Structure formats: C-alpha cells, structure tokens
Amino acid sequence: MTKPVLTGRHFFYGNHACAEGALAAGCTFFGGYPITPSSEIAERMARRLPEIGGIFLQMEDEIASITAILGASATGAKVMTATSGPGLSLMLEGIGLGIMEELPCVIVNVQRGGPSTGLPTLVGQQDMMQARWGSHGDYAIIAYSPFSPQECFDLMITAFNAAEKYRTPVIFLSDEVIGHMHERVDIPDEAEIESRLISRPMFNGNGTEYLPFLPNENLVPEFAPPGAGHAIRMTGLTHDDAGKTEVNSQRQEILVPRLKEKIERDVEDITLFEEFHLDDAETVVITYGITARCAKGVISDLRKENIKIGMLRLISIWPFPDYLIKDLMTRVKNIIVPEINLGQMVREIQRCATDDVKITPINYAGGSLPGYEDLYTKIKGICNDR
C-alpha cells in the first residue's frame, strides 16, 4: 500500500498540493463533483485515496457531496470536498448543517470569476464574503487563503487541524491561478507531520452519560462515533446537549452563541498573517491570496524609490482579525486594498478604520491578474497623493 505522505521535494500544481496536504493531514474520505477549476483535486484524490485504503466517492452534484462528507465525518473520519463558486453556492445549506451538527470537514473553493457560470477557467476572488455569510443564520466560520502551492500543502494541514479542534466546517479559499500554478513543494517526513496533527476531542466515558453536544471547557463537544455504545442524536434543528430537539428561544440563546463564540474567542490563535516591510511603513497594502504575489514585487520596487510602503498578507481570512487591523491603523497613514473583486475584504478593513487613515481599494472584476504596470501606477499614485 502506498504511503499517505509523499515526503521530499516535488513539483506540484496547487490543486495537487491541496490533495497531498489533505492526505498528509489524515483525510480518508473525499466526496465531490467535478467543477472547473478545482477538478484536479478530485482527480488526484480519486487515484490516491484507494492507494492508502481511503474512499473516493463521486456524487451526482454538490448538494450530495457536502452531505456525503458530513455523513462520513459523523463516523469519525477526516473528510474533504472541493469545488468552485457555483458549487459552493449549492453547498451552503449543507455547510450550515455541518456547523449546527458540529461535524469537522474541509471545503476547498478554487475561486473563479462570477456570478453564475461566469469565467469557469479564469481567476477571481469573488467568494470571500460568500464564505463568511453564505449560509443562513448566525455562526462563525474559519477560512484560509493560500498564495503558493507550498502553502496549499501546509495550510491544508492547518485547515484540517482547525476543523477537528473546533468541530466545524473550514473553508479553503484558493483560486484558479494558485490551483494551476506549478511550483516546488517541500514535504517533511511523516514523523514531523504527525507531530503537528490534531484530532477532535474524544469522549472517554469515565462512567458518565454521553451527551453528544455537551461542551467542554473550550466550548467544543467531545465526540463518540456511532457503534461505540452511546445514544447519539444529530439534528440540524435547535437542540439540547443530548441532541434532543428544542425549538424555542431559550435553547437558541444557549446553543447559537456558543457555536459562534467557540471560534471567535480564539481569533488571535487562529489568525495567520505575513508582514513584509512593515517596520517603517507609512503606507500598507493589505491583501491575500494570488493578489499578494502581484503586489509584492511592486512594493519592493517602490521601496527602492524611498517610498515607505509595506504589505500585510492575510493568510487566515475568517474570523476576521479586527485586533490586527486596528493596531495597524495606529501606525500608518495609508492603507491600500487590491482585490480581484469589486470590493469585499476592504469593507472589513473599513470597519476598523480611524479618521486619520485613508483607505483606498483597487478592484479588478476578475479574469486576469493585476498587471504589474497597472498596479505599480495605481499604488504609487495613491502614495504620492497623501
């Protein structure tokens, strides 16, 4: 049987790196439906999972895909699916079910231009708000945004760990360019990877009755798989600690704030970011994903012209790190937010704004990367205007 971790140095597409990262994290079940530009993830999982004794299941659509992985997660398996914008739209009710049933899973969204069928083969970053607010009701979500194939591998392990630790769906916001980018990926040995892995909190018994939604000190219920001898109820309805349906405001006031708080109270632990030339920066570019790669060269060249500019790259997107942005607001004069959408994450940054900091979006509707000359001219012009 093939080893689940392909250690050593490889040249992978971002999509293939996502698949290998999931396997390294312990994923044993993939349920999905092919959709451009994420299909290479499903194709690789279809080949690799049977090699390691896992299960690949192609479903009839994305609605079936999300419910399939939730069912597998309920048995204790580490699970994943992959899709793009239209498929994520179909999965959103199921994601809400996963949040309510507290079932860990990872959903990879290789973003493309929308809305509707849009630009199936071209890049976009237009699902950032959909990832946060797409499902109905009050909840918190965890989402990550890679900017290289190496980070696709590394962050997949992080995403699986977060899903297990908080017993929640986690969204992985890649994009068409990152997914089809071919770069070196260094994979450590299995022992090192194993030392990083986290599994969901498990119920150890101790002679007590098992209540499947009784939160521990971290606000996360302990897990026992079906067949372990415990009564297990799971429902998307508002429920008590035993899983019994209680459709009333009193139970809602207990359950829903906990689902939100178990994630948002750990925002500083969850938050990942990269700082680039921030020590003396008066102007900061805040960006994420593939757009950060476009901006980095521009920033390096502008610094050669004695312009005090730096970059904050958001690696984790949700929960949004208000504390990080508010601290930055006390140290800079200008914030520039380039995105391959018409202005989504900039709204979160504006919420954290102070009156003496100017925030300027640079927006692209999708389909191509920000060109160097265009981005250089726009960023330099904003710096000179201040």
What's the CA gap between 373 and 384, in Å, rounded? 16
Pairing of strands 142-144, 334-339: unpaired
Instruction: Tally the C-alpha atoms within 13 A of residue 226's C-alpha that lie toward its C-beta.
Output: 8
Task: Provide the pLDDT for residue 272.
Answer: 98
What confidence category does residue 228 fall into, taking pLDDT thresholds of 50, 70 and 90?
Answer: confident
Residues linked to residue 318 through DSSP beta bridges, in sequence order = 143
Summarised one tens digit per residue, pLDDT across range 243-254 is 999 999 999 999
What domains does the chain contain, in order, with CATH numbers?
8-196 (3.40.50.970), 275-385 (3.40.50.920)
Q: Tell me the Cα Rg of the chain.
A: 21
359 pLDDT above the threshold of 90: yes
pLDDT bracket for residue 361 (50, 70, 90): very high
312 strand-pairing partners: 275, 286
Q: In what order do the strands lie in the sheet with 334-339?
A: 273-276, 309-314, 283-287, 334-339, 358-363
Per-residue pLDDT for 301 more than 80?
A: yes
Structure confidence at residue 1 as a pLDDT band (50, 70, 90): low
At 237 the pLDDT is 98
Chain centre to alpha carbon of residue 281: 28
In this prediction the pTM is 0.97
Cα-based angle 338, 340, 343 (whole degrees, multiple of 5): 65
- Number of Cβ within 10 Å of residue 174's Cβ equals 32
Whether pLDDT at 3 is above 80: no
Q: Is the pLDDT of residue 207 over 90?
A: no
Average pLDDT over residues 110-119: 97
pLDDT category at 227 given cuts 50, 70, 90 is: confident
Tell me, what's the pLDDT at 205?
75
Task: Give the span between the Cα atoms of 166 and 75, in whole angstroms.
Answer: 17
Amino acid at 257: P
Tokens of 329: 């607001």
Residue range 261-283: average pLDDT? 97
Residue 175: both structure tokens together: 């994009």
- Mean pLDDT, the chain, rounded, equals 96
Q: How do residues 25-80 score in pLDDT, each as one tens digit?
A: 999 999 999 999 999 999 999 999 999 999 999 999 999 999 999 999 999 999 99
